[in-house]
């Protein structure tokens, strides 16, 4: 088992190899690894917000992205004081703020506005520099400067006192006159970092918001969110594009674009399940939708999940409206497999234990396309955390769930092996194979590209379990893979990978991790063959291989 963990860890490192290593600009030839940061997410702290504190976080993590820096966030609400330690890419906003102090080697806390609470953030760029944080904004009464001042006061006597009084008078006079001329300056002894410095306006259609995952918005105040249009509708909830307001900057309203998934009262269970899955900080991954927070909107009798917004929408919509290149296929396919592999994994990229999760409703409409054309998984309403405490009964009660069109044969038959948690992962891999087929069917490297059709498209609009049983179990049918699709060397590997993922025998299927590695290897294969995209496509005959 240890050996397995070890190799899996290195596998992860290799997987992320291209983003973990970097040539440093200052010293070409030197290689910079990703940073090591304290990474405990939100936890209560004894730090009172003055002087120096340590994070009390016993978990250090190698940041996934080489650009990420170490960040600490100190927050005080009516109920508690928390410290949040994480890695974060300073190119992305955090709570709508730009991290502009990350070049420092130490983490100096500064007050920021928002979220209805007192809120301090610092960032820095040395390993574990977010462990010790310094609050410099409040005058420290016991500072050496004031001690020296006292000694001088006592020893030099009344003369010095007089001088100090005179200087104090002039100082007070200057401050007083400045206040009068400055008009509206704050009385607070803390530094005032204006919104203009800290917040930038969100561009319409910008990639996504980047605020950290939080379990539930415990603030009594709800987030200032203004809903725009509806962008999606699922079984349990509707999704809206929305503006998360961030106060004003230079007289204009600053905001961050977010997505809000709204569950009606009667879908509380689905909201709770998705919220609980999202709340696991270990779920965070570039190919998993970025969760911001959850809210109970009691007045409206609604439950909200607030996440990053991705303007390109879901993969089904994207494939319907776009023909993609071989390179696009490769990016979409690899990122999808990486997202599923991360979900299924029992360790984080840093090798720490994590609870494996199965999605159980993987389909192209539950996958979002990010601006860089990578995928991220969303809609965890049917997700299941495979922790060791789950009994066979609990697993059995979880029933036949998902979308009939994408259900693996053993799910259609309700014959999952409940003794083995791998069985649940194998059903996800089957569904992922159907999505990979959908992606391939819209790639110009296959030859003639037809209109988008879902897998088993001809069955009917929303096939029921019984008709899917006929196609998948009785006829052992799978979507067509015309022979012409395999004239491209990369596509050959993709098609055989798909074939191995939708095998009737769940145990014979590849793991998502293996699929991700295959895609990774395919990049080199494509370079070696001197092709960078789908230029060499061969118009093809369309023979059918839907019987296994």
Residues that bind ligand ADE (CB under 6 A): 231-232, 239, 259, 289, 307-310, 313-314, 368, 378
CB 252 within 8 A of CB 199: no
β-strand pairing of 132-135 with 107-112 = parallel
CB 237 within 8 A of CB 271: yes
Least separation, in Å, of the C-beta of 235 and ligand ADE? 13
437, 490, 512, 519, 526 from 493: Cα distances, Å: 12, 5, 15, 9, 11
| CB of 315 or CB of 404, closer to ligand ADE | 315
CB of 32 to ligand ADE, least distance (A): 32
- The Cα-based distances of 150 to 146, 153, 172, 423 in angstroms read 6, 5, 19, 73
Q: How far is the CB of 317 from ligand ADE (least distance, A)?
A: 9
Contact between residue 336 and residue 367 where contact means Cβ atoms under 8 Å apart: yes
CB nearer ligand ADE, residue 239 or residue 277: 239
Q: Closest separation between CB of residue 241 and ligand ADE, Å?
A: 7
For the bound state, the minimum distance from the C-beta of residue 212 to ligand ADE, rounded and expressed in Å, comes to 16
Cα distances from 416 to residues 88, 340, 387, 390, in angstroms, run: 40, 19, 17, 15
- The Cβ of residue 459 has, within 10 Å, a number of other Cβ atoms equal to 18
Q: Do the beta carbons of residue 90 and residue 98 sit within 8 Å?
A: yes
Sign (positive/negative) of CA torsion 344, 347, 348, 350? negative
How far apart CA 12 and CA 338 sit, in angstroms, is 10
DSSP state letter for 470: I
Number of neighbours of residue 463 by Cβ within 10 angstroms: 21
Q: Among 361, 379, 526, 533, which one carries the catalytic annotation?
A: 361
Q: How far is the CB of 233 from ligand ADE (least distance, A)?
A: 9
CB of 452 to ligand ADE, least distance (A): 18
Contact by Cβ (8 Å): 501, 444? no
Q: How many CB atoms lie within 10 A of CB 164?
A: 15
The two counts, helices (H) then strands (E), for the chain are: 13, 20
Instruction: Rank residues 232 and 447 by Cβ distance to ligand ADE and give the closer one.
Output: 232
Minimum CB distance to ligand ADE smaller for 74 or for 309: 309
Question: Rounded to an integer, what distance in angstroms lies between the CA atom of residue 302 and that of residue 268?
Answer: 8
Alpha carbon 184 to its chain's center: 40
Asked whether the beta carbons of 455 and 479 are under 8 A apart, the reply is yes
Query: Closest by alpha carbon to 225, among 251, 269, 261, 196?
Result: 261
Where does residue 29 fall: left (phi above 0), alpha (psi -120 to 50 degrees), or beta otherwise?
Answer: left
Of all residues in the shown chain, the one whose CB is closest to ligand ADE is 259
Closest CB to ligand ADE among 124 and 315?
Answer: 315
Residue matched to tokens 């495979």: 386
Smallest separation (angstroms) from ligand ADE to the CB of 463: 23
CB-count burial class (<10 Å; 0-12, 13-18, 19+) for 513? buried
Total length of the chain: 548
Q: Which is nearer to ligand ADE, 61 or 289 (CB)?
A: 289
Active site (annotated) includes residue 361: yes
Asked whether 282 and 348 are in contact (CB, 8 A), the reply is yes
CB of 271 to ligand ADE, least distance (A): 14
- State residue 168 phi and psi, 5-degree precision: -60, -40
C-alpha span between 487 and 490 (Å, rounded): 9
Write down the least CB distance from residue 497 to ligand ADE, Å. Answer: 27
Q: How far is CA 548 from CA 132, 165, 244, 539, in A?
A: 60, 95, 50, 25
Which residues are marked as active site?
361
């Amino acid at each position: 088992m240890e050996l397995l963990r070890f190799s899996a860890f290195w596998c992860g490192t290799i997987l992320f190899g291209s983003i973990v290593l970097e040539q440093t600009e200052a010293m070409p030839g030197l290689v910079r690894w990703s940073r090591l940061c304290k990474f405990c997410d939100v936890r209560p702290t004894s730090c009172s917000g003055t002087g120096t504190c340590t994070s009390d976080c016993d978990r250090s993590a190698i940041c996934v992205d080489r650009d990420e820096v170490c960040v600490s966030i100190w927050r005080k609400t009516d109920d508690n004081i928390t410290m949040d330690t994480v890695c974060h890419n300073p190119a992305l906003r955090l709570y709508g703020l730009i991290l502009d102090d990350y070049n420092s080697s130490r983490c100096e806390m500064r007050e920021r506005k928002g979220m209805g609470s007192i809120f301090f953030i610092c960032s820095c760029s040395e390993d574990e520099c977010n462990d010790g944080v310094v609050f410099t904004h409040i005058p420290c009464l016991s500072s050496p400067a004031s001690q020296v001042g006292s000694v001088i006061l006592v020893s030099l006597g009344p003369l010095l006192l007089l001088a100090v009084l005179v200087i104090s008078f002039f100082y007070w006079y200057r401050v007083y006159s400045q206040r009068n001329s400055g008009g509206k300056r704050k009385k607070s002894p803390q530094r005032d970092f204006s919104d203009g410095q800290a917040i930038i306006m969100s561009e319409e259609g910008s990639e996504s918001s980047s605020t950290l995952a939080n379990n539930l918005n415990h603030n009594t105040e709800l987030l200032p969110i203004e809903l725009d249009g509806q962008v999606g509708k699922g079984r349990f909830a509707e999704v809206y594009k929305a503006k998360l307001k961030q106060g004003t900057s230079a007289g204009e309203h600053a905001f961050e674009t977010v997505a809000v998934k709204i569950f009606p009262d009667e879908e509380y269970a689905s909201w709770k399940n998705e919220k609980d899955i999202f709340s696991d900080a270990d779920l965070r991954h570039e190919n998993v939708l970025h969760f911001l927070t959850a809210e109970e909107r009691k007045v409206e009798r609604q439950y909200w999940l607030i996440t990053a917004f991705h303007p390109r929408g879901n993969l089904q919509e994207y494939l319907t409206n776009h023909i993609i290149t071989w390179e696009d296929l490769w990016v979409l396919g690899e990122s999808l497999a990486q997202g599923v592999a991360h979900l299924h994994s029992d360790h984080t990229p840093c090798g720490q234990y994590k609870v494996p999760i199965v999605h159980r409703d993987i389909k192209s409409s539950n996958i979002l396309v990010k601006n860089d054309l990578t995928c991220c998984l969303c809609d965890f309403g049917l997700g299941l955390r495979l922790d060791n405490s789950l009994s066979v009964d609990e697993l059995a009660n979880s029933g036949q769930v998902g979308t009939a069109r994408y259900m693996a044969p053993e799910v259609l038959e309700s014959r999952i092996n409940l003794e083995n948690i791998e069985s649940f992962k194998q059903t996800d891999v089957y569904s992922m194979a159907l999505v990979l087929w959908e992606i391939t069917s819209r790639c110009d490297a296959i030859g003639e590209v037809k209109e988008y059709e879902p897998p088993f498209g001809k069955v009917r609009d929303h096939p029921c379990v019984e008709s899917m049983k006929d196609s998948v179990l009785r006829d052992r049918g799978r979507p067509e893979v015309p022979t012409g699709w395999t004239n491209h060397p990369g596509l050959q590997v993709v098609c055989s990978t798909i074939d191995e993922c939708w095998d009737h025998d769940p145990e014979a299927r590849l793991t998502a991790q293996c699929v991700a590695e295959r895609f990774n290897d395919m990049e080199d294969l494509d370079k070696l063959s001197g092709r960078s995209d789908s230029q060499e496509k061969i118009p093809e005959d369309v023979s059918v291989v839907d019987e296994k």
